[in-house]
Structure 1
Amino acid sequence: MKIANMKIGQRLAIGFGIVIILLVAITALSNVQLGNLNSSINLITKDRYPKTVLANTIQIQVNKIAIDIRDIMLTSDADKIKYLVNDATAADKKMNEGLAQMQSIAKTEDDKRFVKDAMTARDAYLPVRDGLMKLALAGQIDEAKAYLPQQFMPLQIKYFIALDAMFDYQGGLMDAAGDKASSESGSARMIINTLAGITLLLSAAVAWLVSRSITRPLTEAVDVARRVADGDLTTKVEVKSTDETGQLMSALQTMNGNLYNIVSQVRQGTDTIATASSEIATGNMDLSARTEQQAGSLEETASAMEELTSTVRQNADNARQANQLAVSASSVAVDGGTVVGKVVETMSSINDSSKKIVDIIGVIDGIAFQTNILALNAAVEAARAGEQGRGFAVVASEVRSLAQRSAAAAKEIKILIDDSVAKVDTGSKLVEQAGTTMTEVVASVKRVTDIVGEISAASQEQSQGIEEVGRAITNIDETTQQNAALVEQSAAAAQSLQDQAAKLMQLVSVFKLDQKMTKTAATAGTSTAIAKKATVNITPKAPELKQAPKSASTPALTSSSKLAPTAAGRDDDWEQF
């Protein structure tokens, strides 16, 4: 696959991939070298250096013991000798601990051999040294001085030689490890610097190749876009690759071709626009006249609706008053029905009371009858008594006379009461009939009230509906007036459209086309000029309120076969409106 046909993302991925691979290689090699260096450093810090320090510590303690023995030989003070012996004993303890630690960390055969030699020399050295210190503690300094060069010094020298050999061996190992670490560090630095240089060169080469493969086509695309921006549509755009820049060049090629076609069609259509704008202006004049006529009709309709609204409103007011009167009559009828009901109840109570009076009169009549019988019996008994009962007979006669008169009066009262009860019954029946009639009257008045209320509500709704119709007609009238103003604006816009068509022709002439299109543009310019000369004055005048001629609203569009049917259709719509 050619580089030019690769996607920009693929190129960048390959370039960055190479750089990343090199960086990974540098990182891996650096880690390996650093690992080696770390191993060397660990060997020095954890093995070589501790052993060297231990060997040095052992030497220091042995030297300290030798110094203490020397000082013992030079003094005769028992306390000082005792102090020096104790100090030498402490140093001996540290020396033995150091040798034991050295023996425990010795790993190689050489380490073990040097430690063994030192411990062998120490084992021969210690008994002689201890004997010397015993002589000093016993105060036998002269014997100790004689013992020192003969037996102690040779063994001490051998011990020193063994310790020096062990120290020199450990120091040599540490120096060798340091040299190795330094060598590894230098080689790692050289390898890393070499790979870094190679990476830098390869990265620069990849960056140059990738940027060159991107910027060169982009430069060509910018040149093409600049020529198109200058109006030169004759540029031949060549597509040399299939990547994003190639797609950009292909898009510029398509854009250039589309602009070429658009400008060609615009040049061909400007004369049609000019002619159509002239015919639109003529149609707008006719539409303006019809709109004014329609506005006049709407004004008359609005006036009639106002009169109808006033009449309906008056009817609604009358219905409302009738409803109020019916409600008042219904209330009065209800009150009358209530009064009649109370009268019926009162008559019923009177009838009951009259019946009770009749019963009472019957009782009185019975009492008078019994009194009369008793008086008669008393008179008979008085007659039997003779002269002694004459006075009693007179009284009995008077009582009988009173009883007879009471009975007669009771009969007359009973007759009158019976007549009253009969009349009360008749009155109660009449009052009940009056109550029934009043109930029917109340129900009828309620029905009349409901009907009048419905009539009032219907009249109110009718009044509101007619008011809404009136407002709608008023809105339609306002809309019609606005439409008339819009028609005038449309006429002015048609004139502006004609002017813009001429300006558009001038703007389109900036683009460079081939010779054929230049001739077409010249023809279009001529047509535009003719259309401008044939344009009528489209400033609308105040039209008269009469039917506009139908032929004026259907102008023949000579330059556009699609506009004529549209104008005719709009004319039919206005006729229906």
Structure 2
Amino acid sequence: MQEAEKGFKPMYEMLAGIEAALQKGGSDIFVKINGAIRTITAALLVIGALSIATAIVLGWRIAHSIVRPVHGVSDFAERMAAGDLSQAPLVAEGKDELAHMTLVLDRMQKSLVQVISQVRESADSIKTASSEVASGNHDLSARTEQTASSLQETASSMEQMSGAIKQSADSARMATQLASEAERSAQQGGAVVGQVVNTMAEINHASRKISDIIGVIDGIAFQTNILALNAAVEAARAGEQGRGFAVVASEVRSLAGRSAEAAKEIKELINNSVSKVEHGSTLVGQAGSTMEEIVSNVVKVREIIGEMSVAASEQADGVAQINTAIANLDQMTQQNAALVEQGAAAASSMSEQATQLAEVVSTFKLEHGNRGNTLQLQ
């Protein structure tokens, strides 16, 4: 332990020497710093005094250069506020706020001159126009009353027309019903004619079959006659033994002749009937075509009458709407007449107000003088 203390002793001595040296050097530095502070303080006092003096001089000069133009601008603004717009334009030198304000005041005066001039002209125009409007409103009021009277007469006529159109619509509906009934009757007649045509065709067909059967009978009678003739010849050859057979053959031949004659007459009757049936079929066919045309025409008539009924109903609705519109128009016309009278009163009032406005605007003086205001900003 003692050896360690001996080893650190030189170091302790060296640190003690360093500490003593620092204490001695710090005292000298502190003295020098205090001297420097006193010197700087004295210099600052001198500089502050010079700055204050300079600021006072500059402030006086700046105030002098600002107050004079400000007084000029203030006087210009006061006269303009009093209604004198005839001042010569301000002339400002410089580019600061005061110069800008001067330019703004000059532009304001020019704008006010234009506005007041326009107001004077407008007041005169309004006065003239309001007088004309008042006169026109009186004429319009008279014409509106005449229009209202005409509308009332028109409304009365439209009511009468509405009644006539309703009656026409009712008649058209009845005609539509009758046409529908006629159409059904015509269709039934057409069906009956069709049945007749079919029946005539069947009769014609049956007659032709009968004619064919008669032809067969006629052929049989012809062949029977030939056979009877042959039998008579054979009976003549037989002599007395064939006499009875000859009588029978003669009767058969006579019967065949009568059958042929009857068949011929029946055939003629059948042919005549067939001819008449064909003619009747032709007539019935024409009647069927005519009934079809009648049905088609009745359908067209019903459609036309239906359209007429619809049109009459629409006309009735339209006339009702027109009556309502005319009533509304009459009411609006009466209201317009009242508004026209109010407009005439308003026009008279406007004319009086325009006169008062012209008197108020006449207090402004607009002509420029010959003097000039110059604001020199330095």
Give the TM-score range, shorter chain. 0.5 to 0.7
* Pairs within 5 Å for 1:238-317: 238-240=90-92, 249-250=102-103, 252-263=105-116, 266=119, 284-285=137-138, 287-317=140-170
Shift in alpha-carbon separation, 1:422–1:255, aligned structure 2, 3 A: same
The structure, 1 or 2, with the larger RCO (C-alpha pairs under 8 Å, 6+ apart) is 2
Aligned length: 299
1:477 to 306, 317, 330: 330
- Structure 2 counterpart of 1:336: 189
How far has the Cα of 1:321 moved from its partner? 3.4
- Structure 1 counterpart of 2:211: 358
- Structure 2 counterpart of 1:169: none
Q: Distance in 2 between matches of 1:421 and 1:276?
A: 103
Q: Deviations over 1:277-328 (max 9, x none)?
A: 5775566455434423431221122121221222133224323433453454
- Structure 2 counterpart of 1:494: 347
Q: Deviations over 1:451-478 (max 9, x none)?
A: 6567556656655665565455334323
Q: Deviations over 1:75-117 (max 9, x none)?
A: xxxxxxxxxxxxxxxxxxxxxxxxxxxxxxxxxxxxxxxxxxx
How far has the Cα of 1:354 moved from its partner? 1.1
Shift in alpha-carbon separation, 1:374–1:262, aligned structure 2, 3 A: same
How far has the Cα of 1:512 moved from its partner? 6.0
Task: State the SS of the aligned residue for 1:240.
Answer: strand
- Structure 2 counterpart of 1:87: none
Shift in alpha-carbon separation, 1:381–1:290, aligned structure 2, 3 A: closer
Q: Deviations over 1:121-174 (max 9, x none)?
A: xxxxxxxxxxxxxxxxxxxxxxxxxxxxxxxxxxxxxxxxxxxxxxxxxxxxxx
Q: Distance in 2 between matches of 1:244 and 1:454?
A: 90
Shift in alpha-carbon separation, 1:411–1:328, aligned structure 2, 3 A: same
Using the TM superposition, name which of 379-388 and 462-471 deviates more. 379-388
Q: Distance in 2 between matches of 1:225 and 1:332?
A: 109
Question: Unpaired segments of 5 or more residues in structure 2?
Answer: 1-61, 369-378
Normalised to the residue count of structure 1, the TM-score between the two structures is 0.40
- Structure 2 counterpart of 1:195: none
Q: Does 1:346 align with 2:202?
A: no
Given residue 106 of structure 2, which amino acid in structure 1 is its aligned partner? Q
1:417 to 250, 255, 270: 270
Given residue 313 of structure 1, which amino acid in structure 2 is its aligned partner? K
Q: Distance in 1 between matches of 2:201 and 2:185?
A: 24
How far has the Cα of 1:508 moved from its partner? 5.3
- Structure 1 counterpart of 2:223: 370
Shift in alpha-carbon separation, 1:400–1:287, aligned structure 2, 3 A: closer
Equivalent residues of 1:330, 1:442 under 8 A apart: yes
Q: Deviations over 1:425-445 (max 9, x none)?
A: 342343345345545645665
Using the TM superposition, name which of 335-344 and 445-454 deviates more. 445-454
Equivalent residues of 2:80, 2:109 under 8 A apart: no
Normalised to the residue count of structure 2, the TM-score between the two structures is 0.56
- Structure 2 counterpart of 1:86: none
Given residue 374 of structure 1, which amino acid in structure 2 is its aligned partner? L
Given residue 277 of structure 2, which amino acid in structure 1 is its aligned partner? V
Question: Unpaired segments of 5 or more residues in structure 1?
Answer: 1-211, 517-577
Q: Distance in 2 between matches of 1:425 and 1:279?
A: 96
Q: Distance in 2 between matches of 1:301 and 1:244?
A: 78
Given residue 315 of structure 1, which amino acid in structure 2 is its aligned partner? S
Using the TM superposition, name which of 481-490 and 493-502 deviates more. 493-502
Shift in alpha-carbon separation, 1:243–1:332, aligned structure 2, 3 A: farther
Given residue 238 of structure 1, which amino acid in structure 2 is its aligned partner? L
Equivalent residues of 2:138, 2:344 under 8 A apart: yes
- Give the % identical residues: 56
Task: State the SS of the aligned residue for 2:92.
Answer: coil
Equivalent residues of 1:237, 1:252 under 8 A apart: no
- Structure 2 counterpart of 1:209: none
Given residue 482 of structure 1, which amino acid in structure 2 is its aligned partner? Q
How far has the Cα of 1:271 moved from its partner? 8.1
Equivalent residues of 1:291, 1:480 under 8 A apart: yes
Q: Distance in 1 between matches of 2:309 and 2:339?
A: 44
Q: Deviations over 1:170-228 (max 9, x none)?
A: xxxxxxxxxxxxxxxxxxxxxxxxxxxxxxxxxxxxxxxxxx9xxx8xx9799799769
- Structure 1 counterpart of 2:172: 319
Equivalent residues of 1:233, 1:260 under 8 A apart: no
Equivalent residues of 2:207, 2:274 under 8 A apart: yes
Equivalent residues of 1:228, 1:256 under 8 A apart: no
Equivalent residues of 1:375, 1:397 under 8 A apart: yes
Shift in alpha-carbon separation, 1:364–1:314, aligned structure 2, 3 A: same
Q: CA RMSD in A?
A: 5.1
How far has the Cα of 1:422 moved from its partner? 3.4
Equivalent residues of 1:267, 1:508 under 8 A apart: yes
- Structure 2 counterpart of 1:428: 281
* Pairs within 5 Å for 1:63-212: none
Equivalent residues of 2:77, 2:105 under 8 A apart: no
Given residue 483 of structure 1, which amino acid in structure 2 is its aligned partner? N
Q: Distance in 2 between matches of 1:370 and 1:228?
A: 157
Q: Deviations over 1:487-508 (max 9, x none)?
A: 2332443365367557757975
Q: Distance in 2 between matches of 1:313 and 1:244?
A: 89
